[in-house]
Structure 1
Amino acid sequence: MTVLHTARLRLEPCSPEHLEGLHDMNRDPAVMRYITGRGETLQETEDMIERVQARWAELGYSWWSFLDLATGQVVGAGCIQHLGRDRAQPLEIGWRLRQDRWGQGLGSEAAQRMASFAFDELQTPLLCAVCHPDNQASAHVMKKLGMSYRGLEHWYDMDTSVYDMDRAAWLARSAP
């Protein structure tokens, strides 16, 4: 399983060791507002970790826990997965952060590193991202990453704003 690093974060595949930190984040209704509309139970977070570990074993990518390098605390989570969890769909990037870490650039920092993993290591031709149409903070991270708005589409049982970026755009953006 792949561990990624940024200037301020260590991205580790989600594991039972992260349960308390992930649950603290996922039970916050403000964090989950645009994802499920409610906080998660401890059992839901445990089930998520189990599903994610199975995907890591099968695919070699899934969800990471974002660990703050200074404190070792879980401050967020993010993924590279197939859009709609359907292997026929392109890869999707996603993230969430603890509320006390919003507005510090950590989402963009982690997204940049996960996108690099998707394009450079997995060689994906296209990377998508979805968010609730009202989630301007997440859309901002998508735009900052270099993604373009594709339109409204129905994913994860809701209408979502979809952004994407192809490999050529990533390479052009990453060129010196």
Structure 2
Amino acid sequence: MVIVETPRLVLRELTSNDVGALSGILGDPAVMEFSTNGPCTEDDTRKFIDWCLESYREHGFGQWGIADRSSGAIIGFCGLSQVDLNGVQEVEVAYRLARAAWNQGLASEAAAAALAYGFSQCHFDSVIAIIANRHVVSARVAEKVGMKIDTYTKYRDWDVGIYRKHLEADLRIS
């Protein structure tokens, strides 16, 4: 199911048919350098997709596949997921792109679309991004989509910055 389209991308629900393409991306050590889970095997990717499918059913959102709009090829994932951050339930935006898709503004395009969906369709008041302190590129993506540093903390033994975006005042539901 298509969630949202942007000028260059389609964010859609992942399916078991995406295991091969996505495992190639998530198995790349460069792509997963700043993931607390590290590079994924094909089995890890299958479990990740199963987790996404469960999230779609349970919450109505999750991590979605990013497909190139012109070719339909999966180039990564981006979406929203429930996360426990220091005992508090938050909604996190996350993104991973194949190396071939880096440095083209695609992560920002996907993250902006996911945030817009979260605020307009899911009615979240705020969304966070958990970013390793050393991951300056991801921090730039968060800032580009209007997120601001909220705090610094530890997450799964990593030193991270918590970026946050609040629902804009003119979008708040009365």
The letter of the residue matching 1:146 is G
Residue 149 (structure 1) aligns with = 149
Alignment of 1:35 onto 2:22? no
Cα shift at 1:144: 0.5
Residue 15 (structure 2) aligns with = 15
Cα 1:82/1:160, change in 2 over 3 Å:
same
Instruction: Give the whole-Å Cα distance in 2 for the aligned partners of 1:50 and 1:85.
Output: 22
Contact 2:36/2:158 (8 A) holds in 1: no
Instruction: Give the whole-Å Cα distance in 2 for the aligned partners of 1:22 and 1:170.
Output: 37
The letter of the residue matching 1:36 is T
Cα shift at 1:36: 3.3
Instruction: Give the whole-Å Cα distance in 1 for the aligned partners of 2:117 and 2:159.
Output: 27
Instruction: Give the whole-Å Cα distance in 2 for the aligned partners of 1:170 and 1:139.
Output: 26
Cα 1:166/1:159, change in 2 over 3 Å:
same
Greater share of helix: 1
Contact 1:2/1:61 (8 A) holds in 2: no
Count of residues in Structure 1 that have an aligned counterpart in Structure 2: 172
Deviations 1:14-51 (A, max 9, x none): 11111111101000000000003632111100111111
State the TM-score, normalizing by the size of structure 1: 0.90
Contact 1:66/1:76 (8 A) holds in 2: yes
State the TM-score, normalizing by the size of structure 2: 0.91
**Structure 1, unaligned runs of 5 or more:** none
Higher mean C-alpha displacement, 78-87 vs 25-34: 78-87
Higher mean C-alpha displacement, 151-160 vs 102-111: 151-160
Residue 72 (structure 1) aligns with = 72
Listed as ranges, the matches of 1:93-172 within 5 Å are: 93-168=93-168, 171=171
Greater share of strand: 2
Higher mean C-alpha displacement, 21-30 vs 89-98: 89-98
Cα 1:162/1:16, change in 2 over 3 Å:
same
Instruction: Give the whole-Å Cα distance in 2 for the aligned partners of 1:152 and 1:86.
Output: 12
Cα 1:14/1:156, change in 2 over 3 Å:
farther
3-state SS of the aligned residue for 1:7?
coil
The letter of the residue matching 2:106 is L
Cα shift at 1:86: 9.4
Contact 1:83/1:128 (8 A) holds in 2: no
The letter of the residue matching 1:125 is D
Instruction: Give the whole-Å Cα distance in 1 for the aligned partners of 2:129 and 2:170.
Output: 14
Residue 26 (structure 1) aligns with = 26
Instruction: Give the whole-Å Cα distance in 1 for the aligned partners of 2:129 and 2:38.
Output: 21
Cα shift at 1:83: 2.6
Cα shift at 1:159: 2.2
**Structure 2, unaligned runs of 5 or more:** none
